[in-house]
């Protein structure tokens, strides 16, 4: 039996005033239930060293709905409330397995506004989606069709900080199948001057999306800073203006990365990248803004899940691999390689472009690791054997 990949299809929609009010109430109730359940679980552990799970918090929700103080929870669909308890359970599971920090409370103004509906909480017929507690279907801008003959299993409604409404439909996509094996392999060196440099010698220009809107963003932020915190509507308008600029930057960046990653996955069977610690690199005050704009972590995440979809392999090599100052021809290691040096000549006479040479070394290290049979997978704990494997490969090539 063939199992299809589940994929989320995200669309923008335009709610009526009544729908917007209903969804806003739902967002508030979801946040309230999540915070109350988190408080109850924290208190149970702190006072009694008792771990309570989803079933216990679900029973608490039933009790809460019967109280006069929380009777308003009955006014919204119960499905998103149950789902937020499941999300809290997942958050605790990730915490106990040391994959995430301890769950935090959701703030009214800072947390993401969203609500998740399972099959019992919505109706999808003839291309029209109607949520529980609503009489009219959502006015969705269908920017692309859903796969033919499939129905969503889960629907998530959200509103971003710019005030835009989105609906995400989780469906099985039969169109995602492994691509034919082509045997191509490419090394990818991430940078700031060029967003990506490939081992083939191709350089992909960094669009610098944030820099293009930096003046407009700074002007909007200055206007926001002049609004007093108690200045309700005027401050809200100024805040939305800043959020819209940020959203436009993020949308352009995401679109660029989707196109790049899709192309790399379609053209290559094996893609080798560096295992960069972007979080630590962002501590560099001079380069933090440019590194954040390059979105290397988002690039890697997209590359990994698309490779899993289409039967490709992503290899991440040791972040300490001296890829820039190691000659890709004779494997001689240069003493120093400051950032301002873009081309250099090795003792063997080979002249290297810094970034292209680095991409070639990354590719060689990744292929060496793969050939050694190491357990390389596209997860975040990717192999740290890149440097030693490259040395072994260099020794093997020596006459």
Distance in angstroms (rounded) separating the CA atoms of residues 209 and 213 = 7
Give the count of beta carbons closer than 10 Å to the beta carbon of residue 228: 8
Closest CA to 278 of 319, 315, 317: 319
Closest CA to 93 of 126, 66, 54, 128: 54
Distance in angstroms (rounded) separating the CA atoms of residues 6 and 339 = 43
Beta bridge partners of 344: 352
Distance in angstroms (rounded) separating the CA atoms of residues 115 and 83 = 8
Distance in angstroms (rounded) separating the CA atoms of residues 313 and 370 = 10
> Annotated catalytic sites, by residue?
189, 274, 355
- 72 φ/ψ sector (left φ>0, alpha ψ -120 to 50, else beta): alpha
Q: How far apart are the first and last CA of the chain?
A: 52
Distance in angstroms (rounded) separating the CA atoms of residues 251 and 216 = 16
Q: Are 359 and 197 in contact (CB under 8 A)?
A: yes
Structure tokens at 47: 């006072």
Residue with token string 């960094």: 206
Q: Are 323 and 361 in contact (CB under 8 A)?
A: yes
Distance in angstroms (rounded) separating the CA atoms of residues 258 and 298 = 10
Which ranges constitute the DSSP H helices of 188-277? 209-212, 214-225, 232-267
Structure tokens at 125: 């017929």
Structure tokens at 307: 């490779």
């Amino acid at each position: 039996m063939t199992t299809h990949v589940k994929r989320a299809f995200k669309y923008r929609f335009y709610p009526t005033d009544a729908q917007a009010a209903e969804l806003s109430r739902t967002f508030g109730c979801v946040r309230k239930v999540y915070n109350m359940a988190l408080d109850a679980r924290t208190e149970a552990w702190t006072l009694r060293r008792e771990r309570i799970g989803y079933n216990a918090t679900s029973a608490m929700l039933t009790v809460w709905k019967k109280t006069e103080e929380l009777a308003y929870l009955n006014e919204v669909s119960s499905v998103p409330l149950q789902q937020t308890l499941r999300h809290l359970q997942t958050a605790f599971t990730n915490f106990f397995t040391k994959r995430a920090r301890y769950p935090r409370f959701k703030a009214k103004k800072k947390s993401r506004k969203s609500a998740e509906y399972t099959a019992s909480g919505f109706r999808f017929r003839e291309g029209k989606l109607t949520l529980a507690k609503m009489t009219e279907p959502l006015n969705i801008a269908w920017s692309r069709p859903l796969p033919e003959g499939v129905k969503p299993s889960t629907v998530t409604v959200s509103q971003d900080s710019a005030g835009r409404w989105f609906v995400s439909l989780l469906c099985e996509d039969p169109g995602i199948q492994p691509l034919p094996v082509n045997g191509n392999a490419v090394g990818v060196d991430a940078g700031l001057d060029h967003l990506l440099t490939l081992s083939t010698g191709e350089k992909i220009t960094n669009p610098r999306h944030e820099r293009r809107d930096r003046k407009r963003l700074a002007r909007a932020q200055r206007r926001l800073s002049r609004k007093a915190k108690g200045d309700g509507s005027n401050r809200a308008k100024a805040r939305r203006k800043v959020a819209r600029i940020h959203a436009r930057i993020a949308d352009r960046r995401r679109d660029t990365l989707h196109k790049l990653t899709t192309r790399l996955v379609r053209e290559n069977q094996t893609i080798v990248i560096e295992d960069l610690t972007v979080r630590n690199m962002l501590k560099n005050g001079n380069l933090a803004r440019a590194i954040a704009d390059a979105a290397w972590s988002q690039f890697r995440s997209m590359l990994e899940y698309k490779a899993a979809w289409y039967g490709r392999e992503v290899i991440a090599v040791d972040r300490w691999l001296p890829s820039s100052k190691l000659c890709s021809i004779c494997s001689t290691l240069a003493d120093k390689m400051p950032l301002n040096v873009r081309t250099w000549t090795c003792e063997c006479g080979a002249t290297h472009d810094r970034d292209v040479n680095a991409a070639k070394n990354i590719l060689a290290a990744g292929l060496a690791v793969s050939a050694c049979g190491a357990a390389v997978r596209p997860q975040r704990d990717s192999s740290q054997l890149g440097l030693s494997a490259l040395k072994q490969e260099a020794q093997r090539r020596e006459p």
